[in-house]
Chain A
Amino acid sequence: MLLKRICWVFAFVAAASLQLQAAPTLEEGKNLFIANCASCHNKNMKDDMTGPALSGVEDRWSAYPRKDLYNWIRGSQALIAAGHPRAVELWNKWKPSPMNNFPGLTDDQIESIILYINSPPVVPPPPPGGETIGAEKSSGNMWLFVGLALLLGFLAFAMMRIIDNLANISRVQAGETPVKKTWAQIAGSKGFIAFMVFAVTLIFGYKTVDNATLMGRTQGYEPDQPINFSHKIHAGVNKIDCQYCHDSARRSKHSLIPGANTCMNCHSAVKKGTISGTSEITKIYASIGFDPIANKYIPDYENWSEKQIEDLYKKWIGQEYVSANSLTSLDDNGRSEVQSQWDGVVKALKNDSNGRIQGPIEWVRIHNLPDHAYFNHSQHVAVGQVACQKCHGPVEEMDVVYQYSTLGMGFCINCHRETEVKFKENGYYQQYERYHKELKDGTREKVTVEDIGGLECQKCHY
């Protein structure tokens, strides 16, 4: 497991550049906002997202010392616990999603962010119509083809009759007896057999190829996951932005399954699930080593024995069971519940490649592309501004995620044919001078991904 060892890699630039900053500036505020706040707070400052809209934040905190606002940003939970009125008000409105802590931000940096919030950038209005999510265009050509086939079939039959009749006429003229072919004779004729062989080969061949392309496709794949994680609750009900957890979708080719530390941003406060209670969230704690009773991370968790871990989390589950059912001590049902939840934790976290409770949660991968196909999330999410749902379907309605699209090449190609690129918005496309001219002249209606080479082999295969 080399990947785990990389904590050894050292990046100093960011730290150094932070140290060198002084005096609040708009530029710095913008960078800090994008780096720290934008995943929860809407960039237009007007609409709520995972977190509230930030426009006017200064006014809302104006009744309190400026320092309280700083403290709120650095550690909101502490302020809530201390009973700060504004903090409690916010918590009541937004719970159970707590705000992340940013202990590293200096006063100046926070001022920079506020400066930026007060002068929000102009966000281009969403394109008219927006993305049509999951809409499939039904094929209107089907009946036309059927009609054509019937017409051609009828014509062929008529031609056959005409030829037969003409042949018989010539036979009569030559003094021979006209031949009246029976259906059996027609079916046994060389021409008919040849045609049937041809047709059958064609149909079978087509179907074979058609089905062969489906090999390895897993549309609808809906495997069991180690944690009964519900996107419906997180993305649907709580409206957490997709990119809050899958944060590298905008930066990398991988969208990334979040690490347990990302879950802990909220679940250090939200300790019980809406439906599942302690049974699922405990798995996160057991993976990362968080003690929900003492409310802190366990320092030498790596070295804990399985027994120690079992004791801690059984205690936690039991304690919550007792308080949820207003008992004074664990009853028989409770004991079996604790045992079954703990078994669930073991099943989810202990596996062949690990052999112990501690360590990463091994999810089952649903969306698999073959090795020779290159796909980059960033290109689609950040540049193309394609909604996640376009390929992944209505994830916010799924309790268990399944593969929504075929993810076959035809699926990609069709989308590339239809989708218009952000031709005017993105400065990159300024280089396509001819297209711009054509758009201006009116000789071109739109620029699709296909027009800028989106169907070419080496866009995806190299």
Chain B
Amino acid sequence: MHHDNGIWVSTDDLMREEKFLQSAEKEFSIENIAETDGQWTASRRDFLKLLGFGLGAATVAASCEIPLKKAIPYVTKPDEIVPGVANYFASSFVNGGDYCSVLVKTREGRPIKIEGNSLSGVTGGGTSARAQALVLSLYDTRRIKQGGTIENGSVKPLSWSDLDSKIKGQLQLGGQVRIISQTIMSPTAKKALAEFTAKYPNSRVVTYDPVSSAALLSANDQCFGKRAVPSYHFDKADLIVSFGADFLGTWISPVEFARDYAKNRKIRNVKGAKMSRHYQIESHMSLTGSNADNRILVKPSEQGAAIVALYNALTGGSGGPNLNEKAAKAIAKVAAELKNAQGKALVVSDSNNIMEQVYVNKINELLGSYGTTIDFGRASNQRQGDERDMMRLIAEMNSGQVGVVFVWGANPAYELPNSEEFKTAFAKVNTRVSFSGVLDETTLLCNYSAPTHHILESWGDAEPKAGQYSLIQPTIAPLFQTRQAEHSLLEWADSANLNRQDDQPYYQYLKSHWASDLFALQTKYATPTAFWDMSLHDGVFEVPAVESAVTFNPAISLNPSGVTQPANSELEIAFYETANIGGGQYAHNPWLQEMPDPVTRTVWGNYLSIPVSFDGVNNINGWMDLNDGDNVDVEINGKKVTCTVVRNFGQMPGTVSIALGQGRTAGGCGVGYGVDVNPWLPVEGGLIQYFAKDVKVTKTGTVDEHFACVQHHHTMGVQAMGKEEGTVINADEKSLGWKGFQGSLTDRSIIFQTNLDELPKFVAKLDKFHEKSDHLNSQTLYPDRTDVFTAGVHWGMYVDLNACIGCGACQIACVSENNVPVVGKKEVHRHHEMTWLRIDRYFYGDIENPKVVYQPMMCQHCENAPCENVCPVNATNHSMEGFNQMAYNRCIGTRYCANNCPYKVRRFNWLDYTTADVWPANEERVFHVEGDDKPFYADNLTRMVLNPDVTVRTRGVIEKCSFCIQRVQEGKLTAKQEGRAIMDNDVRSACQTACPTGAIVFGNVNNPDSEVSKLKKGALTYLVLEEINVRSNVEYSAKVRNANEELFS
């Protein structure tokens, strides 16, 4: 049953299902390629006709006059702009409590790319997929162009002065005023709000977060008298225990945590290698769980019991709710380890139950974590919301006291579990004003729209953690007639501090706040102007952390009956946030929708993860014999919804799980995908719980026709002829019965993994493997190439599988940098996704609770590239600097190269995805936002996101990772202009700069002092498919885990 190297990608792979083998065989799925739906009935004859017409048309066109092109200079050229040269501006990505300090790359005044800001003490140059996708949302065609009244689902425009007088009139009526917001991290926005509430004393701000951390805040309030999220230092912890907290993907501050976490996971030196150990206790495979050394499976309702069990094991106490036996045993072992890691341990939980969080605090206190791995000196402001406040607001609105409600950055009509109640209550409010930039679910219920700027058009600041400030500056003039929400509030509050004569009143307001409140915190700059200029240049400003020792309130009593009691139900469901879509705030971003979920690898929607079972002998079955893409009816609390199933390893038996944030009904491209699970969320003591019991799942017998899971696309498999005539088998060594065949999926050297305690043995094994491959590869067709490659600069990449957490930031960065088109769910279903960089997810170990390796896979730029010598027109060939080059304008689309690529990284433009205007049939097929006539890329506003340095590929050509050639060219030019050799910082690929953990390093391998050369010498490095002698330029470093192999024995 087990494959020789124990690596697999899915159930179908493990079972050698026919479907999998077929999909592995095909580079591209061409099923349905000629399917007829009344629009596209092309036959070969049609093709020839069109071809003939095309040639004729081209000839006629060529004889005509060449179209007149204009070159329009500036009237007065701004000094800081050199057309053709990018400008970078420090700013911040802020969405509620999500934060990332960024540099915005602009070309001719148009933001096109997000980079991390390495000056930030919080994110340190890392980014997330959400931050990377920020630029696309700026150019969203659905943005409200001008504020006004909302009638029949659309905005009837009003001038700002008319809108101001109307709203001020309503405010003066004297009813209660409420402002519903997400977490606000901006000190200046808070000041503006304070002015507003001072002007209207009957007003109050109600804050909640789309995914709640309210219990954590309350528990810290009770235990330490501080209603805040503390600072967690994953880099200082040798032992990390997480109860369900997805701190690498979504929890509080994932970019910061991922960076810190990876510091203790990278192995630079095999001798005396040390790593932190990470236990994850959860029911479904989260992104963080997939990175853990050991996962302990508990049902969602047992989470509390597990926390109490750990506490008891540490203190020698007893009692508490029942926990499954396997987990209980494992937790006792974890406790024993924790005791030895005093001051170097960190326990976190995402539970939204106050008593559970109190227990976690107590455990951390026992372990001496406060002051070492946790501190309140840099308390985080990234979660401040409390949904109990929202529940109170609903009651207030129902009682008719509330006259005006402003909705700012929140979407309660979608996000709340009791959104129906909210809608009824909201309707009783006389004046409902939304600051939202799009007509989302809540805005449609409002009667006024006062759209705020996009973050890239805004001025602002943020204090994500105490004493760590960050500025937001506009990188483009507002595209539409929008006005910043803070400005609107100050306007309505008749603020005397708002300079209405100024072009940008809120900019002046912000600047004066920094001069009055923050300038005094530093001594480096003598004048407020110098302080402001430098802070704006850096994007961040930090004051030294304040020591903040905490003492655990002795009056707090720990009561095991306060934690969630394990449910006695057959089936439980966990609801989780994904790294790309969040709680739904990012559902309208096509890049994020098309980014595969790291674990399930599904796109465009949320899918019900079901467990798989292994009979111990031969068979692996999806729960209830369900298959990927089957539709089931899920009923919870009488609410029945049809979901699509995906089988998922690591899902605990007796549980299922599904992501939040999908099933949106208004506001953008996310409409029509997935199901809205918010109505299923139970509320306990006012706090939203992210799991439910008593779940009924029934088969429907139908399937999702366009089930979009990239799991089996572009699999590195190989087929061979069987011993019997006409049979095709998967060619692993076992089935062929002889040794030495280079090529099957299972025995190919794709993933190397080991455990920390076996490292020396593993290195010896790896060395042997290198030796064997060297022997196989001693021959080359191009013996003189070595001379060429060593002549000047030679590029190479290093990917550390130990540091890669699978978060997907690199993938979105690549999409953004290289104009990779969005193709939509149907096209993904047909294997047509265009991403140049995919993150392969492999399993190994115990089949029911496996371990995971993520492998970013892009063109390997082989020196002996198999794609190059099959191209009939030499459209792909090799450069002396090591690039496997792709000349689009030479490609005739035979796809031989893609078929011959062992890594399956070449993508074919089946349609004109980006230009979307060639033939009507093409327009029909490419990605449309639901309800739009025009294709996604047909609008000039959307096209503003394109990188002008990268060609937009047309239909019929192959494309693939170019190692960010445009960045290489730019970096080389800079070095030449300065007359010096190339340095590491001159060229950094888009994936490299996006990575929060530094897993990807790119550089000149001919320079022995470059970072990439040094890393490539590491003992753990290997080439994927080293044995097939393609001599790739990307080296991977093997995955090493620090697992406790004795945990379940």
A contacts, CB < 8 Å to B: 2-16, 19, 215-216, 218, 221, 223, 248, 251-254, 256-262, 287-288, 353, 359-365, 368, 370-372, 374, 376, 378-379, 382-383, 425-432, 434-435, 452-453, 456-459, 461-462
A260 to B73, Cβ gap below 8 A? yes
Q: Which one of B69, B880, B944 contacts A453 once the chains associate, using CB atoms below 8 Å? A: B880
A453 to B75, Cβ gap below 8 A? no
Is B153's CB within 8 Å of the partner chain A? no
A6 to B109, Cβ gap below 8 A? yes
B973 to A365, Cβ gap below 8 A? no
Q: Which one of A216, A261, A434 contacts B791 once the chains associate, using CB atoms below 8 Å? A: A434
Which B943-969 residues sit within 8 Å CB-CB of chain A?
944, 949-952, 962, 965-966, 969
Using Cβ atoms and an 8 Å threshold, which residues of chain A touch B966? Answer: 374, 462
A234 to chain B, nearest CB (A): 16
Is B549's CB within 8 Å of the partner chain A? no
A382 to B977, Cβ gap below 8 A? yes
* 27 A–B contacts from the bound complex (CB under 8 Å): A2-B476, A5-B477, A7-B78, A9-B78, A9-B87, A10-B536, A11-B80, A11-B87, A12-B533, A15-B533, A216-B62, A216-B66, A254-B83, A256-B84, A259-B73, A288-B75, A360-B74, A364-B71, A370-B889, A374-B969, A378-B973, A378-B977, A427-B979, A428-B980, A431-B982, A453-B881, A458-B886
When chains A and B are docked, how far (Å) is the Cα of A262 from the Cα of B981?
35
When chains A and B are docked, how far (Å) is the Cα of A86 from the Cα of B978?
38
A53 to chain B, nearest CB (A): 25
When chains A and B are docked, how far (Å) is the Cα of A38 from the Cα of B784?
46
B793 to A431, Cβ gap below 8 A? yes
B73 to A363, Cβ gap below 8 A? yes
B87 to A458, Cβ gap below 8 A? no
The 9 closest A-B pairs by CB, nearest first: A6-B109, A252-B84, A259-B74, A11-B80, A5-B477, A259-B77, A365-B71, A427-B979, A457-B887
When chains A and B are docked, how far (Å) is the Cα of A368 from the Cα of B69?
8
When chains A and B are docked, how far (Å) is the Cα of A368 from the Cα of B66?
11
A345 to chain B, nearest CB (A): 15
B82 to A361, Cβ gap below 8 A? no
B64 to chain A, nearest CB (A): 11
Is B76's CB within 8 Å of the partner chain A? yes
Q: Known: A431-B792, A432-B791, A458-B965. Is A248-B84 also a contact (CB below 8 A)?
A: yes
Using Cβ atoms and an 8 Å threshold, which residues of chain A touch B106? Answer: 9
Using Cβ atoms and an 8 Å threshold, which residues of chain B touch A368? Answer: 69
> CB-nearest residue of chain A relative to B62?
A215
B890 to A457, Cβ gap below 8 A? yes
B1006 to A431, Cβ gap below 8 A? yes
B965 to A363, Cβ gap below 8 A? no
Using Cβ atoms and an 8 Å threshold, which residues of chain A touch B77? Answer: 258-259, 261-262
Q: Known: A372-B951, A452-B792. Is A261-B887 also a contact (CB below 8 A)?
A: no
A257 to B71, Cβ gap below 8 A? yes
Q: Known: A16-B534, A458-B887. Is A360-B791 also a contact (CB below 8 A)?
A: no
Known: A5-B476, A434-B787, A456-B883. 8 other contacts (CB 8 A): A6-B108, A9-B89, A215-B58, A248-B84, A257-B71, A288-B75, A453-B879, A456-B880
When chains A and B are docked, how far (Å) is the Cα of A223 from the Cα of B58?
24
Using Cβ atoms and an 8 Å threshold, which residues of chain B touch A260? Answer: 73-76
B75 to A9, Cβ gap below 8 A? no
A363 to B71, Cβ gap below 8 A? yes
> CB-nearest residue of chain B relative to A425?
B979
A248 to B83, Cβ gap below 8 A? yes
A79 to chain B, nearest CB (A): 25
Using Cβ atoms and an 8 Å threshold, which residues of chain B touch A218? Answer: 66
Using Cβ atoms and an 8 Å threshold, which residues of chain B touch A8? Answer: 109, 474, 476-477
> CB-nearest residue of chain B relative to A376?
B973
Q: Known: A432-B791, A453-B881. Is A427-B981 also a contact (CB below 8 A)?
A: yes
Is B723's CB within 8 Å of the partner chain A? no
A211 to chain B, nearest CB (A): 10
Using Cβ atoms and an 8 Å threshold, which residues of chain A touch B952? Answer: 371
Is B72's CB within 8 Å of the partner chain A? yes
Q: Known: A6-B108, A6-B477, A364-B71. Is A16-B537 also a contact (CB below 8 A)?
A: yes
Using Cβ atoms and an 8 Å threshold, which residues of chain B touch A372? Answer: 888-889, 951
Which B829-886 residues sit within 8 Å CB-CB of chain A?
877, 879-881, 883, 885-886
Using Cβ atoms and an 8 Å threshold, which residues of chain B touch A13? Answer: 533, 537
B968 to chain A, nearest CB (A): 9
A383 to B534, Cβ gap below 8 A? no
B474 to chain A, nearest CB (A): 6
> CB-nearest residue of chain A relative to B109?
A6
Is B975's CB within 8 Å of the partner chain A? yes
Using Cβ atoms and an 8 Å threshold, which residues of chain B touch A383? Answer: 973, 976-977
When chains A and B are docked, how far (Å) is the Cα of A235 from the Cα of B973?
28
A91 to chain B, nearest CB (A): 26
Q: Which one of A2, A3, A253, A261 contacts B76 once the chains associate, using CB atoms below 8 Å? A: A261
B879 to A456, Cβ gap below 8 A? yes
Using Cβ atoms and an 8 Å threshold, which residues of chain B touch A382? Answer: 977
B787 to A360, Cβ gap below 8 A? no
A374 to B949, Cβ gap below 8 A? yes
Using Cβ atoms and an 8 Å threshold, which residues of chain A touch B105? Answer: none
Using Cβ atoms and an 8 Å threshold, which residues of chain B touch A426? Answer: 976, 979
Is B619's CB within 8 Å of the partner chain A? no
> CB-nearest residue of chain A relative to B81?
A6
Is B85's CB within 8 Å of the partner chain A? yes
Using Cβ atoms and an 8 Å threshold, which residues of chain A touch B879? Answer: 453, 456-458
Q: Which one of B76, B81, B981 contacts A9 once the chains associate, using CB atoms below 8 Å? A: B81
When chains A and B are docked, how far (Å) is the Cα of A294 from the Cα of B75?
20
Is B530's CB within 8 Å of the partner chain A? yes
B887 to A461, Cβ gap below 8 A? yes
A428 to B962, Cβ gap below 8 A? no
Using Cβ atoms and an 8 Å threshold, which residues of chain A touch B473? Answer: 10
A222 to chain B, nearest CB (A): 13
> CB-nearest residue of chain B relative to A368?
B69
When chains A and B are docked, how far (Å) is the Cα of A378 from the Cα of B475?
26
